[in-house]
Amino acid sequence: MRKSLYLLLMFLLLLSCSACEVNESTAVADDKNTLPVFAASEAQALSSSIVEVEPASDSSDIIKVEPASDSSDIVEAEPAPETIEKKENLSEESRDWYFLRNKTHQLTEVNNEIKEILEGNQAFYVLPNEEKRIYLTFDEGYELGYTGEILDTLRDNNVKAAFFITGHYIKSQPELLKRMHSEGHLIANHTWNHPDLSQCNSEDLKEEILSVAEEYEKLTGAEMAPYIRPPMGKYSEKSLDLTRQVGYSTVFWSMAFKDWDPDDQPGAEYSYQHVIDNIHPGAVILLHAVSQSNTEALDRIIKTLKDDGYVFSTFPLPHSQATVTQTNAV
């Protein structure tokens, strides 16, 4: 009898162990089925917490801009639309224009991200070429009595430049503007009120640009060149896109220095040496016309650069506006 009970207990124990193995096997199988779901959920949570890091501004993150074949590669500006298209996912982050200069007379450099933003929004800061063409530009926000002398120097050296003007300049200096136009210079846009365009909404940005163009045409009877320099070099991806939609190309620069403060002028020798040391084919040179240093150095700058084989040019115009010779190849 005891032997029979013992055998029965052993049999029940074996059945119990077998059931445990079946349950454990099922649990592992179920666990395997849920693992991919869990892993995907975890990966999604992790990816949403990743923050992209801006590239460092050292030489390893900088690339050279590929040369364009010539200035005709610039897309001509389209007429300003009645309404501005609202694009999604454009960055509104305010940026300051910057580049890495060199004294080897090579192109100044910007990183790849900036290059792509410029190319996608009809903006530029150099016009690379093999003929040593360069572009002399002046920002004109207000007048301190130097622009007349600058125009004399340009006339005497048979050089055409681009002048970026504000609304204030149109109202306060109509005769100088008429002279710029009559002497064949390129007159371009520097906005009406000189605001940070990255902080403007679409309607304000459009008004800032088109009001200057309208007043200039009333004064001279001519269309303004479809180029704009953003005040203070402030921009965003969105402001560049809006500017393009208004019909303008944004022009930055590949050479500039602190020359805009009339009470803190570096002197004519500094202005001269900075331009000569940093010149390169395709350079867009930014000078402020309120600078006594620039005014006194300009004649010497032009003569030295011409002696070195550089050719002063202006940006191309749409066919409807190309009524004067745009390139001075003296």
Catalytic residues: 139, 288
Yes or no: say if 127 and 68 are a contact pair by the CB < 8 Å rule. Answer: yes
Phi and psi at residue 6, to the nearest 5°? -65, -45
The contacts of residue 239 (CB under 8 Å, 6+ apart) are: 197, 198, 200, 205, 230
CA pair distance 136, 297, nearest whole angstrom: 14
In this structure, the number of other CB atoms found within 10 A of the CB of residue 193 comes to 14
Specify the amino acid at residue 215: E
What is the full DSSP assignment across 234-300? EE-HHHHHHHHHHT-EEE--SB--S---TTS---HHHHHHHHHHH--TTBEEEEETT-HHHHHHHHH
Yes or no: say if 328 and 186 are a contact pair by the CB < 8 Å rule. Answer: no
The residue with tokens 């454009």 is: 90
CA pair distance 312, 69, nearest whole angstrom: 17
